[in-house]
Structure formats: structure tokens, C-alpha cells
């Protein structure tokens, strides 16, 4: 019979894969490096996969380990949710809610939604998980979150209940000392040969920007790439280049350093609520979504987003 795998062994593996060293994993888990190595060795001995090559102190990650990592991440989300629900019941809490969202939304209006929700529901736990669209839809599909918030670019390839909340239009973010900062609207052709700060390849917005530039045979120099829009904005503020960003990103910008400008070509999408199919929303989740709707209405009133059809 296969020996039971412990939660701590999964956690050590996930931390090592994400952080890259036994030392960093031990620091995050608040245990010793030998203990992390022992947990990793135990896990490897219990499964039929070769996860590492090399010595205990100089581990090389195998291809199998890289494929196994996202499976463990999803399993940990579920296991921690079960554990936290048990703690909530023991502490007489009303429950917990797991919200998956793209990082730009976690960095902006969802913070206000969580704060407002907690004032009304102080005994309800909220876990806000920042993920890309692929992982967000995976969490929706395997029901490891209650609700998700993301964009509809490429979302149609996944099975979920989608409720559009507002239309978003991409903005061009430029340093204040850039010559394009004086333009009210920037012609797309004017972006040829500019230095760009981009989201990582594969993100829906990056894919559409690439397609749009190819349509006009526009060449651009990719000066830097970041996984999150917060980092993209920071680099634009520091003069590393210009960027085409989600309008929410403008909430993170110091307008003494960078300014958002409209484009003469549309890149638009819906900000949407995603729910698992066949799973009614809980009362707690409904209350949280009510707070999100209020924040979305404020953003709409401020002109950052709008009503209307989504993806164009």
C-alpha cells in the first residue's frame, strides 16, 4: 500500500519549486533546511516520479517535477480550504470565501471590496488569490474558489458561468517627459519603433497587443517584461519605456511620473465575474459580490470603465 503523503511534504515541494532553493523554502516555512530536505526526500520516495537530481544541498529540478508542480498547487488550495473551514467551524465563524482574480484587480478595487465586506462580516474569512487567467479558470473549473474576477479576452475557451460587469478599454501609459505625453489620443502607427514594457508572453492582453502591432506592421523594442501590471507601471514611471495597460493599472500610477493616454485603435474587453457551472453561489459569496458591484459602479462613475458590449 502506498504510504500516505503529508500536507507538509506537499508544502515543502511547492515552496521549493516556487522559491528555487532549500534555504528560501526553509525560511518561508519557518523550519530548518535539513527538515525541508527530509520532507522533499519523503515525498519523492512516496510517489512514482523522479523529482530531483543532484545532492541534498544542490538539487536540480526534473521535467517531471515541473509538470507535477501545478497539480500540487491546486491540491494545496483545496486542502488548505478544507483545513481553514474546519478551523472556522471550531471558532464559530460563519464561513470562508475564496476569491480568485487577476493581479491588477487584487491590487486595486478588490482591496476596497474586501475591506468593505469585512466591516459587515468580521467573522468571515476571505482568501484573495492573485492568478493569471489560465489558473483562474482552472480554479473555477475544479471549484477551488467561490468566485473569480478577470477579463474576457480568451475566456471563451473555458467552461464557466460568465457575468460581464463593465467594459474596459486599454490605455497607453507613457512617462511624463515623453513626447507622447502631450497627446490626447495616440495613433497606433505612432507606436512603431518605441521601446515597450510588456506583460509576459502568453498573457491575453500581451497577445492582443502583439496582434495589433503586427496588423500595422509596427516594430517595437521590448525593453522589459513583467508578470504583473504593477511592475510594468513602475518601469514606465522610471522611464524604461511605454506600455499598453489595463485601465485599472492607472490607479497604481504616480501621474507626476507617468500618464495614461487613449489609443485611436480599440483593445477592449469585459471585466467579468466567473462562477463554477452547476454550483449555486453561497449567501456569503453573494454578499461579497455586492461589495464588488459597488466598487465597479464607482470606477464607472469615475470614467475609468464603462457600460456596453465587451470584447471588440
- Separation between Cα atoms, residue 22 and residue 261, nearest integer Å: 45
pLDDT in tens, 206-230: 888 888 777 776 677 889 999 889 9
CATH of the domain at 249: 3.40.190.10
Number of domains composing the chain:
3
pLDDT at 156: 52
Q: What percent of the chain is modeled with pLDDT above 70?
A: 90
**Residue 310, pLDDT above cutoff 50:** no
Instruction: Say yes or no: 162 and 278 in one domain.
Output: yes
What is the CA angle 287-288-290, rounded to 5? 65
31, three cell numbers = 523550519
pLDDT band at residue 293 under the 50/70/90 scheme: very high
- Residue 130 DSSP code: E
Are the CB atoms for 173 and 243 separated by under 8 Å? Answer: yes
pLDDT at 203: 81
pLDDT at 95: 73
Mean pLDDT value of segment 52-69: 82
Q: Which parts of the chain are beta strand (E)? A: 52-55, 58-61, 95-101, 124-130, 147-151, 161-169, 171-175, 185-186, 195-199, 221-226, 243-245, 258-263, 268-275
- Separation between Cα atoms, residue 287 and residue 152, nearest integer Å: 23
CATH of the domain at 33: 1.10.10.10
pLDDT in tens, 152-169: 765 455 577 889 999 999
Instruction: Say yes or no: 200 and 254 in one domain.
Output: yes
pLDDT band at residue 89 under the 50/70/90 scheme: low
Burial of 214 (0-12, 13-18, 19+ CB in 10 A): exposed
| pTM of the model as a whole | 0.66
Instruction: Say yes or no: 133 and 209 in one domain.
Output: no
Instruction: Say yes or no: 112 and 26 in one domain.
Output: no
Instruction: Say yes or no: 200 and 135 in one domain.
Output: no
Instruction: Say yes or no: 214 and 256 in one domain.
Output: yes
Which residue range(s) make up the domain with 275?
A: 93-167+270-301
pLDDT band at residue 300 under the 50/70/90 scheme: very high
Instruction: Say yes or no: 162 and 206 in one domain.
Output: no
- Separation between Cα atoms, residue 128 and residue 237, nearest integer Å: 27
In this structure, the strands spanning 268-275 and 161-169 are antiparallel
Mean pLDDT value of segment 19-47: 90
**Domain-located, residue 146:** yes
Amino acid at each position: 500500500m502506498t504510504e500516505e503523503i503529508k500536507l507538509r511534504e506537499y508544502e515543502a515541494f511547492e515552496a521549493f519549486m516556487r522559491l528555487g532553493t532549500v534555504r528560501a523554502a526553509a525560511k518561508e516555512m519557518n523550519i530548518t533546511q535539513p527538515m525541508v530536505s527530509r520532507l522533499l526526500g519523503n515525498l519523492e520516495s512516496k510517489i512514482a516520479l523522479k523529482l530531483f537530481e543532484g545532492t541534498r544541498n544542490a538539487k536540480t529540478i526534473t521535467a517531471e517535477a515541473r509538470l507535477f508542480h501545478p497539480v500540487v498547487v491546486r491540491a494545496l488550495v483545496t486542502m488548505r480550504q478544507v483545513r481553514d473551514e474546519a478551523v472556522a467551524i471550531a471558532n464559530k465563524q460563519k464561513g470562508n470565501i475564496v476569491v480568485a482574480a487577476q493581479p491588477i484587480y487584487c491590487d486595486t478595487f478588490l482591496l476596497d471590496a474586501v475591506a468593505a465586506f469585512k466591516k459587515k462580516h468580521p467573522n468571515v474569512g476571505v482568501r484573495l488569490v492573485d492568478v493569471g487567467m489560465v489558473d483562474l479558470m482552472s480554479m473555477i473549473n475544479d471549484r477551488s474558489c467561490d468566485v473569480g474576477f478577470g477579463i474576457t479576452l480568451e475566456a471563451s475557451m473555458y467552461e464557466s458561468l460568465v457575468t460581464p460587469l463593465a467594459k474596459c478599454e486599454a490605455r497607453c501609459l507613457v512617462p511624463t517627459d515623453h513626447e507622447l505625453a502631450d497627446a490626447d489620443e495616440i495613433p497606433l502607427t505612432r507606436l512603431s519603433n518605441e521601446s515597450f514594457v510588456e506583460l509576459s508572453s502568453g498573457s491575453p492582453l500581451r497577445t492582443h497587443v502583439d496582434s495589433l502591432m503586427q496588423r500595422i506592421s509596427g516594430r517595437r523594442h521590448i525593453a522589459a517584461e513583467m508578470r504583473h501590471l504593477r511592475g510594468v507601471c513602475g518601469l514606465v514611471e522610471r522611464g524604461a519605456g511605454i506600455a499598453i495597460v489595463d485601465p485599472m493599472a492607472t490607479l497604481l500610477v504616480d501621474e507626476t511620473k507617468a500618464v495614461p493616454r487613449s489609443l485611436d485603435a480599440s483593445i477592449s474587453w469585459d471585466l467579468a465575474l466567473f462562477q463554477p457551472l452547476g454550483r449555486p453561489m453561497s449567501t456569503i459569496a453573494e454578499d461579497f459580490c455586492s461589495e464588488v458591484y459597488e466598487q465597479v459602479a464607482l470606477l464607472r462613475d469615475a470614467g475609468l470603465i464603462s457600460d456596453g458590449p465587451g470584447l471588440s
